[in-house]
Each structure stands twice: as structure tokens, then as C-alpha cells.
Amino acid sequence: MPEFRFTLPAIGALYSDQQLAYDPRESVLVSGGPGSGKTVITIFRFLRSVSDDRDMMLFTFHNTLIYTIRGMLKERAEELFGELDQQKINNIVENRLATFVRWHYLNIKYYNDKEVNETMGNNFRQYIRDKRRGNKFDELFFDEGQDLPPNVYNNAAELSDTITVGADRAQNYRQYYGEDQVEDIILDSLKEQIDIDLYYLGGNHRNTREIFDLAKKFVSGDLRVQGIDSSSLRSGNAPQIETDLNRQQQFENIRTIIAANPNSNIGILVHFTDDINDIKKDLIEHDFSCAEDAPEALSFSYYYNGMDKEDERTLKKQLRTPFITTFESCKGLEFDIVIMPLFELSDVAMKKFNREGRHYATSSHYYVAVTRAKNDIFIFSEYKPRSLGFYVKEEQPNVMDKLF
């Protein structure tokens, strides 16, 4: 399968609200729902900083987005970076993009999200003093800003006076903020240190009406999401939900979809790392490979924290589709097609706690996962879990035969 493509439009194609968020040279907090363009604006502002030869860093929370951005920047280096020499481009791609947790570990110490404000501030000041000779970054960029706690933003001006943050309260998985408080808290924290303005992106430029309407059903209690009018979105294929498939039938459907869409970005999103390994095993048993020398037509990628090191090295060089990862790691990404198999495990995932004391999945995880899809969404399950309580089989006939 081909390399995964991160879709970055031409800068002249930005929508009016996106252009307003891009234009300022000063600090901005960019808010908006899935598909509104928060990551696109963050990347364009980052690229402008590169063009201006500024000293900057772009932080994400998960490696998956880092890998996709790196691939896109390398592929479009001449178009995006202009006359920069290859060595400088490589330096930017490899050293100016990082997860905040990894950067903090390498430059300060092991990251503690419960660090008290005073200690966090002292750590940032010491880093600037000792490792940067007192020079702050010219600019900092935080994508998926809701994944970092308030103590980071309470002290962010110790690192830079110009800061871009993209955040969405509906994607507040880590629950550092109270309900509907993400943007307010981040903005107030930064306003105490620097001049910063809020820009809201109101559109959804990714999903079809049918896909977004399905996503809304997972968060029926979220009044803000329910108030979003989907009538202006483009029409597309009906979502496919099947709740009577055993594990092998689900895997067969995955392979059928892959075979029928050789040029599409396909995301396979699951609850647990064991699910990733089970799908990986099935694909390998049917001649697919995630090795670096895998034939393009039969290659795939996967990601989870602690994955096989050789596979991760290959992933860093080239992220290919289909791409298998967890609901937790899919934020910031988009796919032509999203497949959510083994969904019967939703009942377990919404009760079971991970090592950080959070549920493996919430209704917000599913809302975000469905909105990763541009054209088609498939949910496969052995039985109907409680999270699909809204689903009525008679209302959604099987469309697999029609699509493929």
C-alpha cells in the first residue's frame, strides 16, 4: 500500500476563518472541532517561522502525528521550504518536531504532569539558562494542546514569548480540564504572561454529513456538538455498522476493504495493543508486511507505545497505509476510510482503567475516531455493545456488496 499522506492544502486555499488564525505574527490560541483545520494552521504558522529563520519547536502529544508530519514535510520539502538546503531541511524535520513528553525527558527530566507550578517554572528557567545560554525560543507551537495540563501553560512564557496552541474541548481525553473549560483555562493562563488572542474555526472540512451525524450519536449529551449544524456538509456513503461478525469475519472484511481501496489512506482504530497485534498477525498471515522492504501493494504500518523497535524504525522512515493504531493515538490524523473493528470490546474499554488511571475509551474517543474519516466509516463488532445503543440494524442495511 502507498505511503500515508498528510493532507496539507495550498495556503491560498485556506478558508476565511483559517486565514484569520494564520495571519497574526503574535501568539494565538486556535480552537475548533474535528476537521476545522487546527493542525493545518499550526503547521502553516510553523512553516512561516521556518521561512523567517526563527528558532522554534513544534510539540505534539503522540508520535503518530509527528511521523505523519515528518513524512509530509520531507515529501514536499522543495514546495514548502523553498531554497533551504537539504541538510537544514533534515535538521528541521528531525529536531524541530517532538512530542512534549519526549522533549521534556531529554532536555529537562522525566515529565511529571502533576508537577507543581513553581517547580515547572523553575525547570523551564533552568533549561533556558543552562542549555540555551539564556535565549528563549523565538516561537513555540503546541498541537492538540488539550493533552497537556495547565502547569505547562502557566509557565510556557519561560520558554517563549510567542506561542501558538491548537485545542479542542471535545478531545479532552486526559481530563486535565473540567468539562467545556479547555480553551478558557489555557487562554487565561497564557494571558497572564503574554498577549494572545483566541481564534475559533467554525467549519468542518473533512467529514461527510453522514459521517458527522454518526459521530454526534456517540456524544448525545454534548450540547455543543449537538448544536453543530451538519446540513451544509457534503453528502456521502452511509456508515457501515455490523454487529454480528465473529473475529475472523471482521478480519476478512478488513482485508476486503484494503484490497478494494489500494490508493486510499486507511486507518484501523482499536482499543488495545493486543488488538493491533492480532490484526497485524492476520495481515502477515495473508502476505502483508510492515518490514522496510515490503512490496508496496502489501505493506502496512502500525503504532503503539512500546512496539517492536525495528518496526518503529521503519515507521519513522515511512508511514504506510493501512495504518493500525489505538483510539488514544489517532487524534490529529485523517483518513479516507476508517475501520473500527473488534468494537465488542467497547464494553470492557469503557470500564477498564489504563496505567494512568483513565478509562481506555470514552464516548469522546469514539466521536473523535469517527471524525477521522473523510469518505467512509466501518464499525465491526461481534455483538452490539452499550456504546452502540443508538444503532438499529434495520435502518442501516449492509452496503459492503455495493461499495466493493
Instruction: List, for residues 32-46, the tens digit of each pLDDT value.
Output: 988 999 999 999 999
Q: What's the pLDDT score for residue 327?
A: 95
Work out the mean pLDDT of the chain and round it to a whole number.
92
Q: What's the pLDDT score for residue 90?
A: 85
pLDDT above 80: residue 241: yes
| Cα–Cα distance measured from residue 292 to residue 21, given in angstroms and rounded to the nearest whole number | 39
Is the pTM for the entire model greater than 0.95?
no
Question: Tell me: the pLDDT tens digits for 47-66?
Answer: 999 999 999 999 998 888 88
pLDDT above 90: residue 80: no
Q: What's the pLDDT score for residue 398?
A: 58
* % pLDDT > 70, the chain: 97
pLDDT above 90: residue 310: yes
| Cα–Cα distance measured from residue 127 to residue 138, given in angstroms and rounded to the nearest whole number | 15
Task: Measure Cα distances from 127 to 123, 246, 262, 337 in Å.
Answer: 6, 53, 47, 43
Q: What's the pLDDT score for residue 246?
A: 97
pLDDT above 90: residue 291: yes
Q: What's the pLDDT score for residue 109?
A: 95
pLDDT above 90: residue 9: no
pLDDT-based confidence at residue 234 (cuts at 50, 70, 90): very high
Comparison of pLDDT for 293 and 180, the residue scoring more:
293
Q: What's the pLDDT score for residue 123?
A: 97
Residue among 64, 25, 379, 5 at smallest CA distance from 195: 25
| Cα–Cα distance measured from residue 334 to residue 319, given in angstroms and rounded to the nearest whole number | 14
| Cα–Cα distance measured from residue 164 to residue 156, given in angstroms and rounded to the nearest whole number | 11
Q: What's the pLDDT score for residue 61?
A: 84
Q: What's the pLDDT score for residue 78?
A: 82
* % pLDDT > 90, the chain: 75
Comparison of pLDDT for 281 and 400, the residue scoring more:
281
Pairing assessment for the beta strands 323-326 and 163-167 based on DSSP bridges: unpaired
| Cα–Cα distance measured from residue 119 to residue 117, given in angstroms and rounded to the nearest whole number | 6
Residue type, 349: A
Q: What's the pLDDT score for residue 368?
A: 94
Average pLDDT (347-353) is 95
CA 230, distance to chain mean position in Å, is: 22
Q: What's the pLDDT score for residue 317?
A: 86
pLDDT above 80: residue 6: no
Greatest CA separation for the chain:
67
Which residues on neighbouring strands pair with residue 142, listed in sequence order? Answer: 59, 165
Q: What's the pLDDT score for residue 177?
A: 92
Q: What's the pLDDT score for residue 222?
A: 84
Question: Tell me: the pLDDT tens digits for 158-190?
Answer: 999 999 999 998 888 888 998 789 999 999 999
Average pLDDT (9-38) is 94
Q: What's the pLDDT score for residue 8?
A: 85
pLDDT-based confidence at residue 228 (cuts at 50, 70, 90): confident
Q: What's the pLDDT score for residue 119?
A: 97
Residue type, 200: Y
